[in-house]
Structure 1
Amino acid sequence: MRTHVLGEPGPWRRPDAPITSRIAYAAAHVVPRLTADSTPGAPADLDWDVTMAYRHELWSYGLGVADAMDTAQRGMGLDWTATRELIARSGREAAAVGGRLACGAGTDQLPPGAHGLTAITDAYREQIEVVRDAGAQVILMASRALASIARTPEDYLSVYGALLAEADRPVILHWLGEMFDPALAGYWGSTDIGWATDTFRELIETHADKVDGVKVSLLDAGHEIALRRALPAGVRLYTGDDFNYPDLILGDEAGHSDALLGIFAAIYPAASTALQALDAGDATRAHEILSATQELGRHIFAAPTYYYKTGIAFLSWLNGHQSGFTMVNGLTSGRSVGHLSELFVLADRAGLLADPDLAATRMRSYLAVNGVDG
């Protein structure tokens, strides 16, 4: 046990004009009803008012919202019925405030078991239609069903090629690494990152007019920079690297990454203020702000990385955006008391506890219920 003296919130501010230097999405989490059955395997039962309010908070800071992604517990408790409603509701809310919205389309409505390429392609089509009907941009998510039966790179090129050929507007391709989802090991037809990248690039180059950008979540800055430099003109790289985002977003003489990040859902006031500084031509200040959040980001996304959602929900609770520390699928147990205690300290050091007194009160109650007496 040790005493931690809280600091003050950072000098964050909402923008008074659209952010223009980078396109930036925060991948938002979901909040269940307090009395919902959130035991593992139970259907998701969301508090729609609270879940939507968090998206409005992100939009108010000038960020886009990436919804129905892994941060929203796709594949970790958010079933397709709840996902479909989430996409529709977010679409309506985005339209009401003019907020940027992109949503994940995958194949998770398929029942367990092996499915052929045609069935997988059709499942993608069903979800793409839901996203388009909501007025959101389509993010083609990685598919566990495809990863389980694909045997060659051509299997991936066949499915994705058909979907891109049918796209009525450019989409975002998402390459999610196995550290986020072990079921996606060997995606693009190889466990060798170089061979997998060759297949990924072939797909992009063949359909460059249908690809707005690619979100790469491999936590490998060197690989991302090399891929970014090799992309066809007009295709963006949306970093999904929650470890190395400051340098990747600021970029170098050969370009920069835009952002589609789970960590932005946790650090959004700082992220927005940094991008506003970048808009004003102060790259040094922008880098200073983002770098000050990096230790927190690396902690939240520490291995096992797929439990990072627990940290984002915990920080949301500390900051008063939800009245209970609850998560779909019982995922509140995904991190230890020690991990979440360190998160509290790092969030404070980064100036990301909006109301330190409230955060301290909630932190004490969390420790007490877990048998830790100060």
Structure 2
Amino acid sequence: MLLPSQEGTLVSYSLTGTPLIPRAPKVAFTRTAFAAAHVVSDPIAERAPWVGRPAVDWENTLKFRHWLWDQGLGLAEAMDTAQRGMGVDWLTAKELIERTMVEAKAHPLKPRVACGAGTDHKSLDELKDADAIIAAYETQIEAVEAAGGQVILMATRALPAINAGPDTYARVYGHLLEQARDPVILHWLGDMFDPALCGYWGATDVAAASDAALDIIMSHADKVDGIKISLLDQAHEEAFRARLPEGVRLYTGDDFNYAALIEGDGTHYSHALLGIFAAIAPAASQALEALAQGDRATYHRLLEPTVALSREIFKAPTQFYKAGIAFLAWMNGAQSHFIMPGGFQSSREISHYGEVFRLADQAGLLSDPDLAISRMSTLLALHGIDGDRS
């Protein structure tokens, strides 16, 4: 078929990959692995897609989560991959958390589920000081705990918006951690994922921000399960994780360098809380299985081809990566359409989808090649491209 290239030309492409077959792992993983999953829209029920609550296809949204759990992966629910603050509001996220936890409790593997708690049910105009931010967080923490999920304290846009310094972060996080029922996961999302988070932890200098975050963790280590870092900086993550107190995990959110970070440097390694794992679940699961068995050659063979795919999906502007996750779900039959909350599928260009298609094939991640070709041809036709033309 003909696929568009980044150079603005059409290039002939034939599928060459051998599809990986999703399956349950044969051994327990030696790394905790959360896949951050997206939300499947119900385009028929959708009304005024740029305003109000999105229409969700709950059946297929939850079916996708079962697919991840069946492969031994945990779930990071209602995070930025689920378009929090970019098409999905708190009430929808709360319902998503509640529905997911019901399914997780009934699943035979009893999968681990951590859920995002933030402040996005309040406008920034309502969050002008630390007390208001704490109260907003508490509302969502209570909802997550009531549903039975582990809390992820999502980075909030409200703290940078009030130019909070390290002391304010220490006060807010210290209060929340002491009130939390169980140890939580902290969340450091770089401004490449959300420009409104620039200066998180009270400093634009990464070294100073790291010190502030580590001070909070050190002061409340018994209430911190770990911290997810998404800065796309391997050297920073390696240095940061070496400074963590014993028992506190580093969950990589580095969708560019996850293979090396998860494998580790012989002394330390990262766990995973990654949006890309939802797109590459068979490769991720089977690579983690190989790593647990000491088979590093298979680990690299399975995971390394996914890195180029992930770097394309998460290319700048990085916040639009969710479109690539949903695109591959559509390619692989997890949903019948390529419509996202707020029409988010339009955030990437057709040449991007052509490249994601190529790289997914080469990584063995187009599970049904005939279906993928048919759906890619449909998308090309919508862009005025005859993909079958020779």
Scaled to the shorter chain, the TM-score interval is over 0.9
The amino acid across from 2:116 in the alignment is: G
Task: Give the SS at the match of 2:191.
Answer: coil
| Of 177, 181, 184, the match for 1:171 | 184
| Of 58, 77, 94, the match for 2:68 | 58
Distance 1:26 1:38, change over 3 A: farther
3-12 or 78-87, larger mean C-alpha shift: 3-12
Runs of at least 4 residues off by over 4 Å: none
Q: Does 1:37 align with 2:47?
A: yes
Distance 1:18 1:28, change over 3 A: farther
Task: Give the SS at the match of 1:65.
Answer: strand
In the alignment, is the contact (CA less than 8 A) between 2:119 and 2:156 conserved in 1?
Answer: yes
- Between the aligned partners of 1:22 and 1:372, the Cα distance in structure 2 is 43
Alpha-carbon displacement from aligned partner over 1:279-337 (angstroms, at most 9, x marks no partner): 21102211221111100000000000000000000110011100010100110111000
1:329-340 → structure 2 map (5 Å cutoff):
329-340=342-353
Q: Does 1:104 align with 2:116?
A: yes
Task: Give the SS at the match of 1:175.
Answer: strand
1:319-358 → structure 2 map (5 Å cutoff):
319-358=332-371
Aligned residue in 1 for 2:13: 4
* RMSD after superposition: 1.2
Alpha-carbon displacement from aligned partner over 1:31-74 (angstroms, at most 9, x marks no partner): 11021136223311111001000000000100001010000000
Alpha-carbon displacement from aligned partner over 1:171-220 (angstroms, at most 9, x marks no partner): 00000000000000000001000111010000000000000000000000
Distance 1:229 1:112, change over 3 A: closer
In the alignment, is the contact (CA less than 8 A) between 1:64 and 1:99 conserved in 2?
Answer: yes
Taking structure 2 as the reference length, the TM-score comes to: 0.94
- Between the aligned partners of 1:371 and 1:19, the Cα distance in structure 2 is 48
Q: Does 1:210 align with 2:223?
A: yes
> Which 5+ residue runs of structure 2 have no aligned equivalent?
1-9
In the alignment, is the contact (CA less than 8 A) between 2:43 and 2:55 conserved in 1?
Answer: no
How far residue 122 of structure 1 moved from its aligned partner, in angstroms, is: 0.7
The amino acid across from 1:120 in the alignment is: I
In the alignment, is the contact (CA less than 8 A) between 2:25 and 2:285 conserved in 1?
Answer: no
Q: In the comparison of the two structures, how many residue pairs are matched? A: 374
130-139 or 278-287, larger mean C-alpha shift: 278-287
- Between the aligned partners of 1:338 and 1:264, the Cα distance in structure 2 is 23
Aligned residue in 1 for 2:210: 197
In the alignment, is the contact (CA less than 8 A) between 1:208 and 1:235 conserved in 2?
Answer: yes
Aligned residue in 2 for 1:28: 37
Q: Does 1:88 align with 2:98?
A: yes
Alpha-carbon displacement from aligned partner over 1:95-126 (angstroms, at most 9, x marks no partner): 01012100000000002415221111011011
- Between the aligned partners of 2:307 and 2:214, the Cα distance in structure 1 is 29
- Between the aligned partners of 2:254 and 2:234, the Cα distance in structure 1 is 7
Task: Give the SS at the match of 2:280.
Answer: helix
> Which 5+ residue runs of structure 1 have no aligned equivalent?
none
The amino acid across from 1:132 in the alignment is: E
The amino acid across from 2:166 in the alignment is: P
Aligned residue in 2 for 1:76: 86
Taking structure 1 as the reference length, the TM-score comes to: 0.98
Q: Percent identity?
A: 54
- Between the aligned partners of 1:73 and 1:351, the Cα distance in structure 2 is 27
